Chain A
Amino acid sequence: MSTESIASPIPDVEPRPLVDQLHQWVTTVDHKRLGILYIVYALVFLVIGGLEATIMRIQLMRPHNDFVSPEVFNRMFTMHGTTMIFFVAMPLVFGFGNYLIPLMIGARDMAFPRLNAFSFWMTAFGGLLLYFSFLGGDGLYGAGNAPDVGWFAYAPLTSQTFSRGHSTDFWILSLLVSGFGSVGTAINIIATILCMRCPGMTLGRMPLLAWLNLTMAGLVILAVSPLTAAQVMLLIDRYLGAHFFDTQAGGSAVIWMHFFWIFGHPEVYVLVIPAFAFASEIIPVFSRKPIFGYPVMVAATLCIGFIGMSVWAHHMFTVGMGAGANTFFVLSTMAIAVPTGIKIFNWLATMWGGQIHFKTPMLFCTGFLFQFLIAGLTGVMLSVAPFNWQLSGSYFVVAHFHYVIVGAILFTTFGAFYYWFPKMSGRMYSEALGKLHFWLFIIGFHLTFDFMHIPGILGMPRRIYTYEPGRGWDLWNLIVTIGVFFQAAGVLVFAGNLVWSYLRGEFAGSDPWDAWTLEWSTTSPPPSYNFAVIPKVKSRRPLWDLKHPEDPDWHYE
């Protein structure tokens, strides 16, 4: 990897007035700027969602605590879940996708730049609408307070009978609006990847990140739409007197669950598949080897996408489906463990025989591998329906999915931040602060989420604002809460590193990691047109070919 000092690529000109700069940001259609807007938006909501979690954990630190009332607690878990999924994880996915895809496929921008901007602002507005709900309530125009129906908003709790006021409407409308943004971005990603690749970059030669984002986009289109449909139905129920989920009129509460989880399960693949993409780009570079088994990695991803549309009712094992239906969903859920496990082995094989550089991106990806293994195995436990009848709706499930979302997704996303920060900002981050972030965060993560499995096994359900002493839950809840503060410290270090490095970091140059994909061939940060000349490629690692003309990849592929 190159360590020579680099001259600043940013030309020395008089900065434009602030108003102009802000106007540029607000009206931009440049995929790189929109990507950064998405990412910054997500980071702000990450902090807000984290505060909501902290409030809950303080309340649950000991039994019969009275840090917050039940009403506030119920709003906290609803808002925490909704925020983290829709206004942190999805914007991160779309932000990185937006920034990286055109660069990695040798294009100048996304297929539909204006649709891109429109989609971002829809998502952004959705988040603001959701949070406006806090301002409602008894005070401001009685418009309603924050939703408290849980992030999956089961019927009939969401009907007018049980959810008076407008709190549930904020949930519905904000997600409806941001859902349009999500579908817009997904359409854009698909069109970009299929239509805008540079000459020579066949589908079999594009970076795995492109394949994984293509799959993710397909899932968004097929999964977010059912949620949109279900939310329209709920709105019609609430305001036009319809009976979709009105159990008094013969409607079905279970059909809401089906519609929601037909969205909800593929949604988690929408979130985790880009995490796999980050790992698939970072692990090879820091192991100094190509990804092991590229074709199978593609096939496994497509399998996951496909099978992922058929597993949704494993969230409903306790609702009283018959033995036949339960058995089917056990099979499909276990089946998806196969391609997922294969990927872990491929990453392992990539590292095997390599020369691993444990810089911050690789530290986070290594943590990801260990943690995703555990998360996948607790997922297998949950797929066993009878076992699920005990574990579902308990803190075991909460621990499992946080293991995936924090332990796998957030870890690789932190890795991605550190890996591509030099490209996006032109500067290197502080490696020391990066490692400090890693260690603080991983200690906190394990304190919180390893021990969270135990109250679940001991009978503690989720979504309870307090619990009885004498059930053996007290100590574990305390340890879980303590871990939160380590994670918060880690995130603070991270934020500080980003800011400090942006202002004062060493100039990075175009290729600080000695990497192999096209984004590293342009300057850091790239010019608005990305590439002076559209590249032509002959293999999956065009920069490897250029750096190793005696041994290019296209001899072997």
Chain B
Amino acid sequence: MSALSVTMPQADVRWNPPARGPVGMYGLIAAESAIFTIFVVAYLFYMGKSVAGPQPRDVLHVPVFLTICLLSSSITIHAAVRSLRTGSVRRFALWWLLTIVLGAIFLAGTAQEWHHLIYDEGLTIQTNLFGTTYYSLVGLHAFHVTVGLLALAIVSLFTILGHIRQEHAERAEVLSMYWHFVDTVWVVVFIVVYMVGR
């Protein structure tokens, strides 16, 4: 039997499947959420169980400023994508750069906090269960921020080189979804580590 031609005269339903970029990114976000959930569960499970060493309420300071920076970066990246949708590449570039700056401030602040914890408070990943779960959870998040910043920086580079145009707004939006995810994870980490855990 030779290959059949399967074309029907017309499809009987309106055909509008979703775009694959956002669906793929949602898939990635789901997988990453599952990973973070396990680290959060470990943090909660081991809360209060450290046998010795510094305890959260003794050494943790609530990072209000850093949180404001990171959460604002969600607003700035949203503004950037909106700008690109309407075609203003220059405004897009500026909002995008501001996002990177805010994210970088967050990372620098985290590094500062860790320096203080390690050298002044003597809390390392080896010290006790609190140290183990704190550094791994916050560190995993910081790692995701770093990867996000790298991706954002590459886009900034392409913008400077003139390769970004209005038609890339969808892709910028997909990348911004990742950034929003990273910020949402920070909200969860913040609540678990700096509010519930202290």
Contact = CB atoms under 8 A, between A and B. Distances in A.
B50 interface: yes
A518 B15 contact: no
A492 interface: no
| Chain B: number of interface residues, binned into ranges | 35 or more
B17 to A, nearest CB: 5
Given A229-B35, A230-B38, A187 B27 contact: yes
A195 B18 contact: yes
Contact of B126 (A4, A112, A190, A240): A240
Interface string A186-225: 1110111011110110100000000000000000011111
A543 B6 contact: yes
A250 B1 contact: no
Given A241-B126, A250-B129, A225 B4 contact: no
B114 to A, nearest CB: 14
A319 interface: no
Interface in B1-46: 1-8, 10-13, 15, 17-20, 23-24, 27-28, 30-35, 37-39, 42, 45-46
Interface string B108-133: 00000000000000000110110111
A537 B131 CA distance: 58
B37 to A, nearest CB: 8
Interface string A223-244: 1111011101100100011111
Contacts of A225: 31-35, 38
Contacts of B18: 194-195
B49 interface: yes
Interface of A: 2, 4, 106, 111-112, 115, 183, 186-188, 190-192, 194-197, 199-200, 202, 221-226, 228-230, 232-233, 236, 240-244, 249-252, 255, 259, 262, 509-511, 518, 521-523, 531, 533, 535-538, 542-543, 546, 554
Contacts of B30: 221-222
Contacts of B39: 229, 233
28 contacts: A2-B1, A115-B24, A186-B27, A191-B24, A191-B27, A195-B19, A195-B20, A196-B17, A197-B17, A199-B15, A200-B13, A221-B31, A222-B30, A222-B31, A226-B34, A229-B34, A233-B136, A240-B125, A243-B129, A250-B49, A250-B50, A251-B46, A518-B6, A521-B3, A537-B8, A538-B8, A538-B12, A546-B4
B161 interface: no
A230 B42 CA distance: 10
Contact of B20 (A191, A222, A226, A536): A191
B51 interface: yes
Q: Which of A112, A115, A194, A521 gathers the greatest number of chain B CB atoms within 10 Å?
A: A194
B3 A523 contact: yes
A233 to B, nearest CB: 7
A521 B4 contact: yes
Interface string B49-69: 111000000000000000000
Contacts of A233: 39, 42, 136
Contacts of B17: 194-197
A485 B120 CA distance: 66
A241 B34 CA distance: 24
Contacts of B4: 510-511, 521, 543, 546
Contacts of A244: 42, 132-133, 136
A518 B5 CA distance: 10
A274 B163 CA distance: 43
Nearest to B9: A536
Interface of B: 1-8, 10-13, 15, 17-20, 23-24, 27-28, 30-35, 37-39, 42, 45-46, 49-51, 125-126, 128-129, 131-133, 136, 140
A238 B126 CA distance: 11
B5 A533 contact: yes
Shortest Cβ-Cβ A-B pairs, 5 listed: A225-B34, A187-B27, A241-B126, A200-B11, A229-B38
A257 to B, nearest CB: 13
A535 B6 contact: yes
Given A195-B20, A222-B30, 6 more contacts: A183-B31, A191-B23, A224-B31, A242-B126, A249-B128, A509-B1
Nearest to A194: B23
Contacts of A202: 13
Given A111-B24, A199-B15, A510 B1 contact: yes
B16 to A, nearest CB: 10
A510 B3 contact: yes
Contacts of B51: 249-250
Contacts of A230: 38
B13 A236 contact: no
Contacts of A252: 45
A176 to B, nearest CB: 12
A281 B132 CA distance: 49
Given A196-B17, A199-B15, A510 B2 contact: yes
Given A195-B20, A236-B125, A251-B129, A536 B7 contact: yes
B7 A533 contact: yes
A543 B1 CA distance: 12
Contacts of A536: 6-8, 10-11
A533 B13 CA distance: 19
A542 B19 CA distance: 25
Contact of B34 (A188, A197, A221): A221
Contacts of A224: 31
Contacts of B5: 521, 533
Nearest to A248: B51
Given A111-B24, A186-B27, A242-B126, A535 B7 contact: yes
A225 B29 CA distance: 11
